Structure 1
Amino acid sequence: MPTKTAPVLDDRALNRATLARQALLEPTDASVLDTVSLLGGLQAQEPQEPFIGLWSRLRSFDPATLSDLLTERRVVRVHLMRRTVHLVTAEDALAWRSRFDAMLRQKVMGVYRAELQGVDLDELAEAGRAVMADGEPRTMTELVAALAHRWPQPGKRPLGEMLVSALLPVAQAPPRGLWRTKGGVRNVLLSSWLGREVDPPAPEGCDPVGQALVRRYLAAYGPATTTDLRSWCGLAGLPAAVAATRAELVSFRDERGRELLDLPDAPRPDPGTAAPVRFLPAFDNAVLGYHYRNRIIDDEHRGLSVAGERVVLVDGRVAATWRSEDGAVAVTPLRPLTGAEREELGAQAERLALFLSEGESERARIDAPVG
């Protein structure tokens, strides 16, 4: 429980802290690789969305740079946080993957428990690894076809989901995820793709990866509650890691009395700091990376954050949705906008249209507010 003397941070103060950590208050001059690392990865279930997320955060972003990092195997697309596909650095993929193994299995079993009843998962993993050992990228269908004769009962989808999103540490090989390139999911073992095995699980009672995740999360998302941390990573077993790092942390309270933890020297800007308009991609972790999202989105619009809607931040909060259609960026406000807000939003929409069209169009449209 927070102490009575812990300072209180209101939603606006938390908002500005989030924007600062996420490079959404001021664009960063950091490299693409360093930004992916700083953010603890980018949500990437929609292959083109990380490019928009980086465009919104970097002062100068060439999408070819991210494509090159993928083909050079310095970043990878993997099932990780919350069993969703994330774009992370190769180093983080190798260091973190084993820590997520139990959660990934549990998530798949939560969906396909009846179908997978009686299947020896360790045996299935061993068989799947043997098929993939040649290092050739395979679709889920191709992998399942090689094993279905041994496990005919579960069905192709349950067997495949368990293999490629839980049992086998795999990356999604390019061209999936390259800029303006379409490509189906082809899976390859991380050990084959990156040249070494993933780091083994830590001995029982020791959780260095969990402690690293606590620090990395707070650096990119803090101040935050332990429930927020759990919602970001999907791991339930982090109380010991939080306890082990607590002496390094400082404590605050939010307006509702919940304890917030943070790194002592992390940025917490003045709540009055101006926040520029920012266009976010679908499923951006600046919104999804919390259980309590009041700092950045109103409760009435919370559903947008899990429905795949691309959103726009105005004065730091979700105030519109946007879409790309016929070479234009169309914006639908969620509330009435001031003249100055509309002007800034329109200018940013034109910049985004130029980026998405590679200089062919700067058309933008702002619709009437919903409702």
Structure 2
Amino acid sequence: MTIGTLTDRALGRATLARQHLLRRSDMDPLTMIEHLMGVQAQSPTPPYYALWTRLRGFRPEALSDLLESRRVVRIVLMRGTVFAVSVADAHALRPWVQPLLDRDLDTNPAHRAGLRDVDRKALASLARELLSDTPRSQTELRPLLAEHFPEQDPAALAHAVRCLLPLVQVTPRGLWGRSALPRPAPLDVWAGPPASDLPGPDRLVLRYLAAFGPASVRDLQAWCGLTRLSEIVERLRPELVTFRDERGVELFDLPDAPRPDPSTPAPVRILAPFDNALLAHADRRRFISDEHRARTMTKNGIIAPMVLVGGRVAGAAKLITGRRSAVLEVTAWRSLSASSRSAIEAEGAKLMKFAAPDADEHDVRLIAYPT
């Protein structure tokens, strides 16, 4: 039964509540990472900022410790991008998104020609053997693969390995202040075999709604990169409640999930680069206008830290740290009230203290969007 209509503002408040962006949480970092089904980790530092903006008193050493103890791993998952996830979720999610990675082997414009006629099973077997013994960067792996596949492009072969095998980026990659080049190793070799009771697709969809709902089937598919998920949602329909958005699209949700009053205040938040809160829906108007969405990604595919004011994206941020100073530049995409500007400065000061605690000078600079 469809309960009613949810406005973009109501959807935004619901997702902010589940993302712990209305108020910071006292969860431990591992529990938060599992609740979020991972945090995006295309580069070393974004997971730390994603947790800082959601957890009260978060220390970067807490995530570094989880990576070093092999309870959290960095692995290619949803949408073919790198996430920091718990080991249990890595084992559950990686097989589920394998069709997406298989499709990449056939459609990737940079590498598909170089993979034509490659025996993928033999390539995967060779790579697993090479990486189980010694984690290796792509530069180190390419000549070893070329010895066995001399007719193929070594760069394409190394890319294929990334898609064919569940590989994790071993430490020190991803450690706070001590990162290194990505050197992959097989997930089960680095972190142990999977448990016998891993969640299946139905459970993963329910967890997505718990962290990002209410959401449509298209939203779900945009989050993970898979297609044809309506069958799973239909199977789960008796367990869910449904709504319509302002445009009449059907939305699904957990009956008892938080859906705050749309008038609930939303504090200023500075999101991490590539923050999944903004990337987990096909329709992102709960957080950002279509006009501003076009500004979020650079020509190089980088999504800078976004600044939320009143629950919506109001601009982008850039953190510049040096030995003795730290500067947060915030480029506003719309006019801001004096109270909003003060709130951005206060939140920015906290962020700089987290990112550069030893800097002598911290400064927040608000810049109007260039016309």
Correspondence for 2:255: 264
Q: Partners of 2:369 and 2:166 in 1: how far apart?
A: 45
Note closer, same or farther for the CA distance 1:211–1:90 as it changes in structure 2 (3 Å cut).
Answer: same
Instruction: Supply the AA of the counterpart residue of 1:316.
Output: G
Using the alignment, how far apart are the partners of 2:218 and 2:41 within structure 1? 23
Correspondence for 1:141: 139
- Aligned partner of residue 307 in structure 2, secondary structure: strand
- Give the letter for the 1:320 counterpart: G
Preserved CA contact (<8 Å) 1:75 1:89: yes
1:149, CA displacement in angstroms? 1.9
Residue 132 of structure 1: how far off its partner (Å): 2.2
Quick one: percent identity of the two aligned structures? Answer: 44
* Structure 1 residues 54-65: aligned runs within 5 Å: 54-65=51-62
1:199 CA displacement: 7.2
Q: Deviations over 1:176-229 (max 9, x none)?
A: 1111223101001111111225879x9xxxxx6211221111000000001000
Aligned to 1:162: 160
Deviation readout 1:79-118 (Å, 9 max, x if unpaired): 0000000010011011221122221121232112222111
Q: Which residue of 1 aligns with 2:41?
A: 44
Q: Which runs of 5+ in 2 are unaligned?
A: none
- Please give the root-mean-square deviation of Cα atoms over the aligned residues, in Å: 1.7
Q: 2:332 aligns to what? A: 333
* TM-score with structure 2 setting the length: 0.93
Q: Which amino acid aligns with 1:31?
A: D
How many corresponding residue pairs?
A: 360
Deviation of the 1:290 alpha carbon: 0.7
Shift of 1:246: 1.4
1:244 shift after superposition: 2.0
Query: In structure 2, what is the Cα distance between the partners aligned to 1:324 and 1:113?
Result: 37
Match of 2:272 in 1: 281
Whichever residue aligns with residue 306 of structure 2, its letter is V
SS in 1 for 2:242: strand
Counterpart amino acid of residue 52 in structure 1? Y
Rounded to whole Å, the distance in 2 between the matches of 1:124 and 1:161 is: 11
1:45-194 correspondence runs (5 A):
45-111=42-108, 112-134=111-133, 136-164=134-162, 166-194=163-191
Cα shift readout 1:127-156 (whole Å, capped 9, x = no counterpart): 21122232x211122223222122123312
- Measure, in 2, the Cα distance between the counterparts of 1:297 and 1:318: 5
How far off its partner does 1:306 sit? 3.6
Runs of 4+ in 1 over 3 A off after TM superposition: 197-200, 304-307
Q: How far 1:334 moved relative to its partner?
A: 0.5
2:13 alignment partner AA = R
1:191 touches 1:198 (CA, 8 Å); kept in 2?
Answer: no
Q: Give me the whole-angstrom Cα distance separating, in 1, the residues matched to 2:138 and 2:276.
A: 27
Tell me how far 1:268 sits from its aligned partner: 0.2
* AA partner of residue 178 (structure 1): L
155 and 210 in structure 1: CA distance in 2 versus 1, 3 angstrom threshold: same
Distance 1:369 1:32 in 2: 35
Residue segments in structure 1 that go unaligned for 5+ positions in a row = 203-207
